[in-house]
């Protein structure tokens, strides 16, 4: 071949394979390996294309001083990941392979994801692994991995990579490292110097404020005192059926008043005084951006934001959906609505729905207000799966397809009926609701949460029999705990983190042991980390500070701010904080060590001792036999000798749930190669009887 050799760099191996296949013109794509790293050889326009992928980030920001006891550190550099991170050994092969292949190339094309992380990955690889080819490289921009779009993107390549986006990305990595490494080292070192034991205590620029949201909510919940109130309902008999009518006041704050309403209305005849019928139009939903997809998937399937993000990434890499890390709620006509719908009609489940939309003259999506300069909202490409999708993948794809169809639907029309019933001078309301016209709901049906409540034919002046009047005792409720989805929404609302990082930050809070459970509870350790930061350097966990930095970093991307200035300001801000932390290292170390001790104890605590009622049952290990067992903390006081044997293999975790049969606390046992199982250690539990019989 006389043409030139062009090196195309993708972000993930699957994308490289798809890109090579889409661009290849003559013969078959050759899959080759260098040092075990796959790459693809294709040809186009007489040129030889070498398509290789990175493996996510191949380079990372690292401090020049490696000693973890030393802080503050402000000198950082971009290092190959294998040099500074554990378990990143395979990035060495990748860097070496890219470096070797780049030497034979005359042209360079960056085809990583078109966003801040993609630009950063591409820039660092081109600069460090390819020997400064960042200035020569051209850029492919695409939002789907369909063959058609990849070819178009190759034909209309941008003349250079997006330097300002890469600068913004590098700035984010640098600022996050400066904050994360220094603050984490300060806290970890303080605890280690006090207790002599090493435990990683991490915090960061976004992690700290996020944990603070949770701590504030935890405080509200833990200091909450419920107050009583009452509701009154009348059971009304109409045409042999019974309907529930609510008292006009939704909550009654005085018990006597509630009782007097019940006495006055019981056994009386009610008169219908007014029937109010209202029709409301409900517009179609807006297209999915990443965060609304994560919220919907959590609400419908209970997938965590990170899980949704991972599944969506797989669907994108299989060219089934467009790029998911987008904050856009716009669907530009250029994506070709009709083409996508026609392609989707090949799937039997969507045939009728798509033909319904295709029969219309004009297709106009109901777009939301959010924009993203790099990508449109998430939409199906029209490609059908080439393999059998797993259940979660199939569900998410179906959700995205149906949402795409729904945004083109007509408004739904709902009717609500409110019937006023007068009973002995008291007013009650009977409410009904119904969908009159399905509109967009027809397309989004399995995921629409709406239930019709039908009322019989009634007229004003009709008399109805009051069958019973019921008083219900109620209490005000504490604010709900955050779950991964609502926490992600809160972060988005407060403007901290990015669509690409929020889900990972939440996972980090779990993995550090700061939070637990789907309905998120904060541990002692999480609590104390925030208390300490709040006490000694409140500015570090202030939302305003974090948001301000986010805005500055966005300004770098748009070219109105410089990385050096943003980093300089961040360092200036952090220096006195670190000095203060160092000066008060002893007291911080003492507080953190105490909190770590409590956290360890909390991890081992199974629940209240059901025998003595005052002690706590904890997982212990016998000094003599080295076997583990459950014992009561009151044993050390000489009050309670309760103990129970435990399985000696596998890991044990208190479940914080009680056995349904005997009410004793449960433990989860996990061993390799077996499903986790729940153990009730009460020897008298009826479950033991059942297993003996079987």
Partner 1 sequence: MKCEICGRRAESRFCELHKRAQENLREKYEEWKRAMDITWEEYLREVLKNPLTGLWVKEVARILLASSEEKEAPSMQEKV
Strand ranges (DSSP E) for 354-453? Answer: 412-423, 426-437
> d(Cα 183, Cα 582) in Å, to the nearest integer?
10
Interface pick for partner 1 out of 219, 338, 621, 670 (rule CB under 8 A): 219
Interface pick for partner 1 out of 1, 26, 225, 454 (rule CB under 8 A): 225
Cα distances from 332 to residues 34, 363, 378, 498, in angstroms, run: 41, 11, 11, 23
> d(Cα 305, Cα 298) in Å, to the nearest integer?
7
Nearer to partner 1, 478 or 495 (CB): 478
Nearer to partner 1, 221 or 363 (CB): 221
Burial of 517 (0-12, 13-18, 19+ CB in 10 A): exposed
Choices 54-62, 224-232, 374-382, 661-669 (CB under 8 A): range interacting with partner 1: 224-232
Instruction: Quote the least distance from Cβ 528 to partner 1, whole Å.
Output: 9
Instruction: Quote the least distance from Cβ 22 to partner 1, whole Å.
Output: 58
Residues in 608-627 at the binding interface with partner 1, rule: CB under 8 A: none
DSSP-derived 3-state class of residue 502: helix
Choices 130-138, 253-261, 315-323, 652-660 (CB under 8 A): range interacting with partner 1: 253-261
Alpha helices in 524-584 (DSSP H): 524-536, 543-557, 563-583
CB 10, CB 19: distance < 8 Å: yes
Nearer to partner 1, 136 or 594 (CB): 594
Interface pick for partner 1 out of 222, 242, 539, 648 (rule CB under 8 A): 222
Instruction: Quote the least distance from Cβ 476 to partner 1, whole Å.
Output: 8
> d(Cα 333, Cα 77) in Å, to the nearest integer?
44
Instruction: Quote the least distance from Cβ 481 to partner 1, whole Å.
Output: 12
Q: Is 323 marked active-site? A: yes
Interface pick for partner 1 out of 255, 269, 277, 358 (rule CB under 8 A): 255
How far is the first Cα of the chain from the last one, in angstroms, to the nearest whole number? Answer: 74
Binding mask 227-246 for partner 1 (x = CB under 8 A): xxx-----------------
Query: Residue 141: left (phi > 0), alpha (psi -120 to 50), or beta?
Result: beta
Instruction: Quote the least distance from Cβ 570 to partner 1, whole Å.
Output: 31
Instruction: Quote the least distance from Cβ 427 to partner 1, whole Å.
Output: 22
Choices 59-67, 214-222, 560-568, 602-610 (CB under 8 A): range interacting with partner 1: 214-222
Longest dimension (CA), the chain: 99
Q: Which helix (H) or strand (E) holds 392?
A: helix 391-406
Interface pick for partner 1 out of 84, 147, 221, 685 (rule CB under 8 A): 221
Choices 10-18, 248-256, 400-408, 412-420 (CB under 8 A): range interacting with partner 1: 248-256
Instruction: Quote the least distance from Cβ 527 to partner 1, whole Å.
Output: 9
Nearer to partner 1, 229 or 298 (CB): 229
Q: Please report the DSSP string for 269-308 in residue order.
A: EEEEEEEEEEEEEEPPPPPB-HHHHHHHHHHHH---HHHH
Interface pick for partner 1 out of 3, 226, 299, 676 (rule CB under 8 A): 226
Alpha helices in 196-248 (DSSP H): 207-222
> d(Cα 664, Cα 641) in Å, to the nearest integer?
17
> d(Cα 113, Cα 10) in Å, to the nearest integer?
8
Residues in 420-479 at the binding interface with partner 1, rule: CB under 8 A: 475-478
How many residues belong to the site for partner 1 (CB under 8 A)? 17
CB 201, CB 184: distance < 8 Å: yes
CB 413, CB 433: distance < 8 Å: no
Choices 222-230, 276-284, 575-583, 632-640 (CB under 8 A): range interacting with partner 1: 222-230
Q: Is 46 in the site for partner 1 (CB under 8 A)?
A: no
Nearer to partner 1, 145 or 530 (CB): 530
Strand ranges (DSSP E) for 497-640? Answer: 515-516, 521-522, 605-608, 616-621, 628-632
Nearer to partner 1, 223 or 511 (CB): 223
Q: One of 108, 247, 303, 323 is an active-site residue; which one?
A: 323
Nearer to partner 1, 441 or 541 (CB): 541
Phi first, then psi: give them for residue 165, nearest 5 degrees: -65, -45
CB 312, CB 137: distance < 8 Å: no
CB 290, CB 478: distance < 8 Å: no
Instruction: Quote the least distance from Cβ 190 to partner 1, whole Å.
Output: 16
Nearer to partner 1, 6 or 592 (CB): 592
Return the structure tokens found at 226. Answer: 């419920």
Interface pick for partner 1 out of 56, 131, 253, 686 (rule CB under 8 A): 253
Interface pick for partner 1 out of 77, 163, 224, 636 (rule CB under 8 A): 224
Nearer to partner 1, 535 or 559 (CB): 535
| Residues of this chain that bind partner 1 (CB under 8 A) | 219, 221-229, 253-255, 475-478
> Catalytic amino acids?
323
């Amino acid at each position: 071949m006389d043409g030139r050799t062009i090196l195309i760099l993708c972000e993930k191996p699957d994308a490289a394979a798809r890109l090579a296949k889409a661009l290849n013109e003559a013969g078959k794509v050759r899959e080759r390996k260098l040092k075990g790293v796959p790459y693809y050889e294709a040809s186009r326009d007489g040129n030889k294309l070498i398509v290789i992928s990175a493996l996510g980030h191949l380079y990372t920001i690292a401090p020049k001083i490696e000693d973890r006891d030393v802080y503050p550190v402000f000198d950082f550099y971009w290092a190959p990941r294998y040099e500074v991170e554990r378990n990143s050994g395979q990035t060495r092969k990748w860097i070496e392979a890219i470096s070797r292949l780049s030497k034979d190339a005359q042209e360079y094309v960056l085809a990583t994801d078109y966003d801040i992380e993609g630009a950063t990955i591409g820039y660092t690889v081109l600069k460090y692994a390819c020997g400064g080819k960042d200035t020569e490289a051209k850029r492919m921009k695409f939002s789907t991995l369909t063959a058609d779009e990849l070819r178009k993107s190759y034909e209309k390549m941008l003349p250079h990579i997006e330097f300002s986006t890469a600068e913004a990305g590098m700035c984010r990595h640098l600022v996050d490292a400066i904050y994360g490494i220094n603050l984490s080292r300060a806290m970890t070192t303080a605890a280690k110097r006090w207790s002599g034991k090493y435990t990683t205590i991490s915090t960061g620029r976004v992690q700290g404020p996020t944990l603070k949201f949770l701590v504030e909510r935890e405080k509200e919940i833990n200091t909450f005192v419920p107050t009583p109130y009452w509701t009154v309902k009348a059971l009304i008999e109409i045409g042999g059926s019974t309907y529930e009518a609510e008292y006009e006041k939704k909550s009654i704050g005085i018990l006597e008043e509630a009782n007097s309403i019940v006495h006055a209305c019981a056994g009386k005849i009610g008169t219908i005084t007014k029937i109010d019928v209202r029709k409301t139009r409900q517009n179609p939903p807006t297209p999915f951006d990443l965060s609304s997809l994560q919220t919907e998937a959590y609400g419908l399937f209970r997938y965590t934001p990170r899980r949704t993000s991972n599944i969506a990434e797989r669907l994108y890499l299989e060219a089934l959906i467009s790029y998911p890390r987008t904050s856009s709620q716009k669907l530009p006509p250029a994506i070709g609505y009709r083409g996508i719908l026609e392609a989707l009609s090949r799937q039997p489940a969507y045939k009728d729905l798509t033909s319904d939309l295709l029969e219309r003259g004009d297709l106009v999506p109901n777009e939301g207000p959010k924009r993203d300069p790099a990508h449109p909202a998430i939409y199906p490409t029209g490609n059908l799966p080439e393999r059998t999708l797993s259940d979660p993948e199939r569900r998410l794809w179906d959700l995205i397809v149906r949402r795409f169809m729904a945004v083109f639907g007509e408004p739904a029309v709902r009717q609500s009926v409110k019937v006023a019933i007068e009973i002995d001078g008291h007013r009650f309301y009977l409410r009904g609701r119904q969908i009159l016209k399905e509109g967009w709901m027809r397309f989004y049906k399995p995921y629409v949460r709406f239930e019709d409540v039908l009322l019989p034919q009634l007229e004003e002046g009709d008399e109805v029999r009051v069958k019973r009047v019921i008083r219900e005792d109620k209490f005000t409720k504490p604010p709900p705990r955050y779950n991964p989805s609502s926490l992600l929404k809160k972060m988005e609302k407060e403007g901290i983190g990015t669509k690409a990082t929020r889900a990972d930050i939440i996972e980090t809070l779990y993995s550090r042991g700061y939070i637990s459970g789907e309905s998120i509870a904060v541990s002692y350790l999480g609590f104390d980390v925030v208390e300490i930061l709040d006490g000694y350097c409140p500015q570090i966990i202030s939302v305003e500070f974090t948001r301000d930095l986010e805005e500055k970093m966005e300004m770098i991307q748009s070219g109105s701010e410089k990385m050096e200035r943003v980093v300089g300001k961040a360092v200036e801000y952090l220096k006195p904080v670190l000095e203060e932390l160092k000066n008060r290292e002893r007291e911080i170390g003492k507080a953190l060590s105490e909190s770590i001790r409590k956290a360890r104890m909390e991890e081992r605590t199974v629940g209240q001792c059901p025998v003595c009622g005052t002690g706590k049952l904890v997982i212990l290990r016998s000094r003599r036999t080295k076997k583990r067992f459950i014992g009561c903390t009151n044993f050390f006081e000489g009050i309670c000798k309760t103990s129970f044997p435990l399985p000696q293999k596998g890991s044990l975790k208190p479940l914080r749930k009680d056995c349904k049969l005997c009410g004793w606390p449960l433990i989860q046992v996990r061993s390799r190669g077996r499903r986790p199982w729940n153990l009730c250690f009460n020897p008298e539990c009826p479950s033991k009887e059942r297993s003996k019989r079987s």
